[in-house]
């Protein structure tokens, strides 16, 4: 494919994307013949003041949140320092439609969503890429920790775990299509986090020591339950009732709860019942609003089913395949045999049962460092 | 790369004459216009001369000119300085946010506010103002020219309606001043706000016409500057700058310069309208000479602004004072455009110094950029409702 040499860097105002911009603008993209021209783009996704004053949300937003004026300021200062054109692109409506609303709906349906993956699939590598191409850039770059390489033997773009395994973000990127990967650069894929901070320092970026953010960007203070209540209040859905019974594995009712969105499979704290042995959420039934709790041992599950699949290193799954499966961000991938199970669905049978398989999370399949593909746990 | 600046309604560069006129007042004649000594007298003389020029510009007495920091201060002063709880205030839904946000604030404090909507072509129907009049109506505030569309408002007729109702009349003339013939007596207004930087003067300075006897409470209090109408040490270089800027503006209203800009704007507009799926917002209405606001069907305006900037053409998607906001232009929406159509609209506003070559360049770049956007992603345009 003929590539032009304009690259749009998605800049969040954090260290990683700022370092990625600095590396591309000052050192190039590794191509020998020419230096790319770099354009900085910041996505404006969520108005941090929007739910201020609603249910438990402070009147003034916390500083340093995604899309806060502070972060846009930081990103703009980096772009100014690098002397690259810089623009803020407003995607608030799409972000609400494709990320925030589904995030709330998933919790209300008893599942545990991953908004970052939704954002990657629908906003960053979809809308942002479209905007980038509209303005004359053929590729985008982000500060994700992942490696993206073209394998001519297979004729496919391969997504791989990065040099810094502790920062690995491939779990959130499994939904990238071949077309998207072909137009995406991850300049930090071969660097460790300390090396990235070193690059930020070397390029004189004032935010080189800025702390990492861990929270969901649109949830102030990280309390998603509070966010959901405040959001529903704003939408006029405050009466939405998902309270129900807390039951033991044998069906005995042992308590009441105020709403299924307050629970996640494997959760121990905040169940509101006393018990001799620690209790964990085993299951959330969206139809009856019943939350089943039980002992830790009962969380172990031998299989996982996933739908809405995206394949990365293979064109499709035609038969059983040995892979390692990652079922949540902080999960150590576990060996399993993967096989097709109907249209757009796969079944993974673990060698050892895995704890807390959680509907709404992603199951991502690895072959060594390569992402084979992934889907959403049902 | 050639750069063509088509965003004069956001701001303009100083003309060299303005820069030269201001120059002595930074370092040599730096005095405080309120001081007794020679330095002070030089500064005072500069301010007095400027006031005289502004009085000619407004067609008013010297004593009716108040210098301030610009359009926003003028608009705020008119609204906060006249309205008290229980009063009724009439303005329009297409005003600049300096008026709209001030209106919101007085509304929170017990003033009844009526926002009159424009007709589809962007013109406020004076009859609608008349219908909105109540016994308690104390102030009517309408802009002379809209900043986004350039559409001129019927100031004289609205002035007569306000006078008949015994209401005060304020004109936000920030975008009209220097572009159309100007006369506060003809407009029949009590207050009129202008800004220097929209007419090749410096930023941070403006002026207000305050008709003698208008009980306008000052917004900023302190020393006895500006006949106690506006406290704060006079911005002498800025005041000299606005004076030179209006002097040059008055000349260009009489020497054919505006007609030249209008011809350039018309050529630009016709050239862009040759692109399929385009139309002028505010078409058919009387407009200032330098502005055209064009809707591009199936184009995301934000992307087009960026794409054009990267090709050397500076335009805007609406008011620069709204950039970063989620909402599409309130002006275009008030004119009946759908959200997507408002988002797909761009403002081109030419500088007084624009050239034929500038227009040639814009007409080379814009059709290419629009075609590229449409070819690339027809599915992205207008997908949000």
Q: What percent of chain B stands above pLDDT 70? A: 95
Q: Where are the alpha helices (DSSP H) in chain B?
A: 16-22, 24-27, 38-58, 71-82, 97-108, 126-132, 155-165, 184-187, 236-254, 257-273, 301-310, 330-334, 339-343, 356-376
Q: Say what the pTM is.
A: 0.88
As a whole number of angstroms, the distance between CA B129 and CA B95 comes to 14
* The CATH number, out of the four listed (3.30.360.10, 3.40.1190.20, 3.90.1150.10, 3.40.50.720), of the domain defined by the range B4-12+256-376: 3.90.1150.10
Question: What amino acid positions of B are annotated as catalytic residues?
Answer: 321
Q: Where are the alpha helices (DSSP H) in chain A?
A: 15-27, 69-82, 92-95, 101-108, 115-119, 128-134, 178-182, 193-202, 224-235
Which of B:301-360 have CB within 8 Å of A?
A: 302-304, 306-307, 309-311, 323-326
Q: Does domain B16-252 have CATH number 3.30.200.20?
A: no
As a whole number of angstroms, the distance between CA B288 and CA B249 comes to 14
Contact criterion met (CB < 8 Å) for B302 and A90: yes
| Cβ–Cβ < 8 Å for A38, A82 | yes
Mean pLDDT, range B163-179, rounded to an integer: 97
Mean pLDDT, range B274-290, rounded to an integer: 97
As a whole number of angstroms, the distance between CA A276 and CA B285 comes to 80
Return the DSSP state at A98: I
Question: In this complex, how many residue pairs, one in chain A and one in chain B, have their CB atoms less than 8 Å apart?
Answer: 52
pLDDT for res A59? 66
- Using the Cβ of B381 and the Cβ atoms of chain A, whether some distance falls under 8 Å is answered with no
DSSP string, B308-370: HHHTTEE-BSS-GGGTT-SSPPHHHHHTT--HHHHHTEEEEE--TT--HHHHHHHHHHHHHHH
As a whole number of angstroms, the distance between CA B70 and CA A166 comes to 54
The most confident of A66-70, B282-286, B300-304, by mean pLDDT: B282-286
User: CATH 3.40.640.10 residue ranges in chain B?
Assistant: 16-252
State pLDDT tens for residues A106-146: 999 889 999 989 999 889 999 899 999 999 999 999 999 99
State pLDDT tens for residues A273-314: 777 788 999 999 988 999 999 998 889 999 999 999 999 999
Tokens of A145: 């920790």
CB atoms within 10 A of CB B127: 11
Contact criterion met (CB < 8 Å) for A90 and B373: no
By Cβ distance, the residue of A47, A72, A85 closest to B310 is A85
Contact criterion met (CB < 8 Å) for A134 and B307: yes
* Min Cα–Cα distance to chain A from B274, Å: 21
Residues in chain B: 385
For testing contact with chain B, the best of A67, A100, A136 (most B CBs within 10 A): A136
User: CATH 3.90.1150.10 residue ranges in chain B?
Assistant: 4-12+256-376
Fold classified for A242-294: SH3 type barrels. (2.30.30)
As a whole number of angstroms, the distance between CA B239 and CA A196 comes to 51
| Cβ–Cβ < 8 Å for A143, A193 | no
Question: What amino acid positions of A are annotated as catalytic residues?
Answer: 119, 217
| Cβ–Cβ < 8 Å for A246, A285 | no
Q: At what angle do helices A69-82 and A15-27 cross, to 10 degrees?
A: 20
Fold classified for A301-377: Elongation Factor Tu (Ef-tu); domain 3 (2.40.30)
CA B369 from centre of chain: 29
State pLDDT tens for residues A245-279: 999 988 899 899 988 988 999 998 878 777 778 89
pLDDT of A61 over the 70 cut:
no
Question: Residue A229: pLDDT band by 50, 70, 90 thresholds?
Answer: confident
Fold classified for A6-143+187-222: Rossmann fold (3.40.50)
| Cβ–Cβ < 8 Å for B33, B234 | yes
As a whole number of angstroms, the distance between CA A210 and CA A15 comes to 6
B3 contacts in A (CB within 8 Å)? none
pLDDT for res A65? 52
State pLDDT tens for residues B240-256: 999 999 999 999 999 99
As a whole number of angstroms, the distance between CA B221 and CA B283 comes to 44
pLDDT for res A314? 97
| Cβ–Cβ < 8 Å for B16, B360 | no
* Min Cα–Cα distance to chain A from B307, Å: 4
- Please choose, from the candidates B277, B355, B274, B359, the residue with its C-alpha nearest in 3D space to the C-alpha of residue B315: B359
As a whole number of angstroms, the distance between CA A252 and CA B359 comes to 79
Question: Residue B321: pLDDT band by 50, 70, 90 thresholds?
Answer: low
State pLDDT tens for residues B214-240: 999 999 999 989 989 999 999 999 999
Which of A:118-177 have CB within 8 Å of B?
A: 127, 130-131, 133-136
By Cβ distance, the residue of B310, B323, B376 closest to A133 is B376
Contact criterion met (CB < 8 Å) for B306 and A93: no
State pLDDT tens for residues B120-154: 999 999 999 999 999 999 999 999 999 999 999 99
pLDDT of B155 over the 80 cut:
yes
- pLDDT averaged over chain B? 94
Beta bridge partners of A39: A8
Domain range annotation of chain A = 6-143+187-222, 242-294, 301-377
CB atoms within 10 A of CB A275: 13
């Amino acid at each position: 494919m003929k590539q032009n040499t304009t690259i749009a860097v998605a800049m969040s105002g954090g260290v990683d994307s700022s370092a990625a911009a600095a590396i591309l603008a000052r050192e190039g993209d590794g191509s020998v013949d020419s230096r790319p021209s770099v354009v900085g783009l910041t996505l404006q996704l969520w108005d941090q003041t929007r739910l201020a004053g609603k249910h438990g949300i402070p009147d003034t937003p916390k500083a340093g949140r995604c899309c806060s004026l502070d972060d846009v300021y930081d990103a703009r200062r980096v772009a100014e320092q690098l002397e690259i054109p810089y623009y803020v692109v407003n995607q608030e409506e799409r972000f609400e439609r494709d990320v925030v609303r589904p995030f709330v709906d998933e919790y209300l349906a008893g599942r545990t969503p991953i908004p970052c993956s939704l954002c990657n699939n629908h906003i960053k590598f979809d809308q942002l890429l479209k905007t980038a191409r509209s303005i004359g850039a053929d590729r985008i770059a982000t500060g994700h920790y992942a490696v993206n390489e073209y394998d001519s033997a297979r004729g496919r773009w391969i997504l791989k775990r990065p040099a810094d395994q502790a920062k690995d973000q491939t779990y959130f990127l499994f939904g990238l299509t071949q077309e998207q990967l072909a137009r995406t650069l991850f300049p930090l894929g071969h660097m460790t986090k300390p090396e990235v901070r070193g690059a930020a320092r070397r390029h004189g970026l004032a935010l080189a020591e800025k702390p990492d953010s861990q929270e969901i960007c649109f949830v102030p203070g990280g309390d998603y339950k509070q966010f959901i209540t405040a959001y529903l209040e704003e939408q006029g859905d405050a009466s939405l009732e998902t309270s129900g019974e807390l039951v033991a594995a044998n069906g005995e009712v042992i308590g009441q709860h105020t709403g299924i969105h307050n629970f996640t499979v494997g959760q121990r704290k905040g169940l509101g019942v006393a018990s001799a042995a620690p209790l964990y959420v085993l299951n959330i039934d969206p139809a009856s609003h019943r939350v089943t709790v039980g002992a830790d041992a009962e969380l172990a599950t031998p299989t996982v089913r996933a739908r809405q699949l995206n394949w990365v290193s293979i064109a499709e799954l035609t038969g059983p395949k040995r892979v390692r499966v990652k079922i949540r961000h902080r999960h150590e991938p576990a060996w399993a045999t993967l096989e097709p199970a109907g249209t757009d669905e796969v079944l993974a049978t673990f060698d050892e049962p895995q704890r807390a398989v959680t509907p709404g999370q992603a199951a991502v399949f690895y072959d060594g460092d390569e992402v084979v593909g992934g889907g959403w746990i049902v | 790369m050639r750069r063509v600046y088509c965003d004069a309604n956001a701001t303009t560069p100083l003309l060299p004459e303005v820069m030269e006129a201001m120059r002595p007042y930074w370092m040599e004649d730096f005095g405080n216009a309120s001081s007794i000594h020679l330095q002070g007298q030089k500064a005072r003389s500069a301010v007095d001369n400027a006031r005289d020029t502004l009085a000619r510009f407004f067609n008013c007495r010297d004593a009716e000119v108040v210098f301030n920091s610009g359009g926003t201060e003028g608009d705020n002063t008119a609204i906060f300085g006249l309205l008290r709880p229980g009063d009724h205030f009439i303005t329009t839904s297409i005003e600049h946010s300096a008026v709209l946000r001030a209106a919101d604030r007085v509304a929170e404090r017990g003033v009844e506010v009526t926002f009159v909507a424009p007709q589809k072509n962007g013109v406020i129907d004076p009859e609608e103002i008349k219908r909105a009049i109540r016994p308690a109506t104390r102030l009517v505030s309408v802009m002379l020219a809209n900043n986004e569309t350039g559409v001129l408002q019927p100031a004289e007729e609205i002035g007569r309606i306000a006078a008949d109702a015994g209401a005060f009349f304020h004109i936000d003339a920030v975008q009209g001043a220097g572009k159309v013939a100007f006369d506060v007596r003809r407009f029949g207004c009590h207050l009129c706000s202008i800004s220097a930087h929209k007419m090749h003067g410096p930023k941070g300075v403006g002026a207000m016409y305050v008709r003698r006897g208008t009980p306008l409470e000052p917004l900023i209090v302190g020393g006895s500057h500006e006949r106690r109408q506006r406290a704060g040490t006079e911005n002498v270089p800025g005041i000299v700058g606005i004076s030179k800027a209006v002097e040059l503006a008055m000349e260009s209203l009489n020497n054919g310069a505006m007609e030249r800009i209008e011809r350039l704007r018309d050529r630009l507009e016709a050239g862009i309208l040759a692109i399929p799926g385009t139309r002028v917002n505010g078409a058919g209405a009387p407009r200032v000479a330098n502005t055209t606001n064009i809707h591009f069907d199936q184009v995301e305006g934000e992307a087009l602004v960026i794409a054009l900037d990267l090709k050397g053409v500076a335009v805007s998607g609406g008011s620069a004072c709204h950039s970063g906001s989620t909402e599409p232009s309130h002006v275009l929406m008030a004119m009946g455009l759908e959200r997507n159509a408002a988002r797909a609209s761009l403002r081109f506003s030419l500088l007084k110094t624009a050239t034929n070559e500038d227009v040639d360049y814009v007409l080379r770049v814009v059709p290419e950029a629009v075609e590229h956007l449409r070819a690339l992603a027809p599915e992205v345009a207008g997908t949000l409702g």
